[in-house]
Amino acid sequence: MPYSVRLTVNGMPHDLALDDPRVTLLDLLRERLALPGTKKGCDRGQCGACTVLLDGRRTNACLVLAVTLDGAAVTTIEGLASGEELHPIQAAFLEHDGLQCGYCTPGQIMSAAGLISEGHAGDDLDRIREGMSGNLCRCAAYHGITRAVQDATR
Ligand code: FES
């Protein structure tokens, strides 16, 4: 028997029937809703590549079962900009070279956006590093990432 879930993704309502209760939000976004911006790294809550905003809070999409999301609002990297205008944190990542290969970048940016909107970033670099510690970057572009978050916080 399919599970029925109604949720909003990037402002668009979706009525979904899920056959498998084990489908994660990450797989739902990438495979069912054709939103591949949210990346799959570890698929076990360790790397942060799959970070989205779930009801405004930073969440690892690989750790959330889609069947639990009835009534939820999800924002992915595809929904962060306003039309052609980048979100300030996206512009700051470009300005400060907060990326190298780019694979972790959507997760980094969503995490930073959540951190800033929660008011937990501040201007202090150590605080920013701690707040962003759930997002790993194998290229080690941490200097630019930290500066971008600091700049976007101001
Ligand atoms: Fe979700 Fe790594 S893919 S935390």
- Average pLDDT value for residue range 35-58: 98
* Summary mean pLDDT of the chain: 96
> How far does the centroid of ligand 1 lie from the alpha carbon of residue 129, in Å?
18
Is pLDDT at 142 greater than 80 in this prediction?
Answer: yes
- Average pLDDT value for residue range 29-40: 98
What pLDDT shows up at residue 6?
Answer: 98
Q: For residues 39 and 52, give the distance between their C-alpha atoms in angstroms, rounded to a whole number.
A: 10
Ligand 1 within 6 A of 102 CB?
no
What pLDDT shows up at residue 1?
Answer: 77
Model pLDDT for residues 15-32, shown as the tens digit of each residue:
999 999 999 999 999 999
Out of 46, 77, 111, give the residue to mutate to test ligand 1, the one with the largest number of ligand atoms within 8 Å of its CB.
46
> How far does the centroid of ligand 1 lie from the alpha carbon of residue 62, in Å?
6
Q: What are the structural domains, with CATH classification, of the chain?
A: 3-79 (3.10.20.30), 88-153 (1.10.150.120)
ipTM of the predicted structure? 0.98
> How far does the centroid of ligand 1 lie from the alpha carbon of residue 26, in Å?
9
- Average pLDDT value for residue range 91-118: 96
Is pLDDT at 120 greater than 80 in this prediction?
Answer: no
pTM for the full model? Answer: 0.96
Is pLDDT at 46 greater than 80 in this prediction?
Answer: yes
Tell me which DSSP letter residue 74 carries. Answer: E
Question: Which tokens go with 120?
Answer: 């937990």
- Average pLDDT value for residue range 98-105: 97
DSSP states of 99-150: -SS-SSHHHHHHHHHHHHHTT---S-HHHHHHHTTT---TT--HHHHHHHHH
Out of 39, 62, 136, give the residue to mutate to test ligand 1, the one with the largest number of ligand atoms within 8 Å of its CB.
62
Ligand 1 within 6 A of 40 CB?
yes
Is pLDDT at 108 greater than 90 in this prediction?
Answer: yes
Give the atom of ligand 1 at the shortest distance from the alpha carbon of 48.
Answer: 4
Is pLDDT at 107 greater than 80 in this prediction?
Answer: yes
Please report, rounded to a whole number, the percentage of residues in the chain having pLDDT higher than 70.
Answer: 100
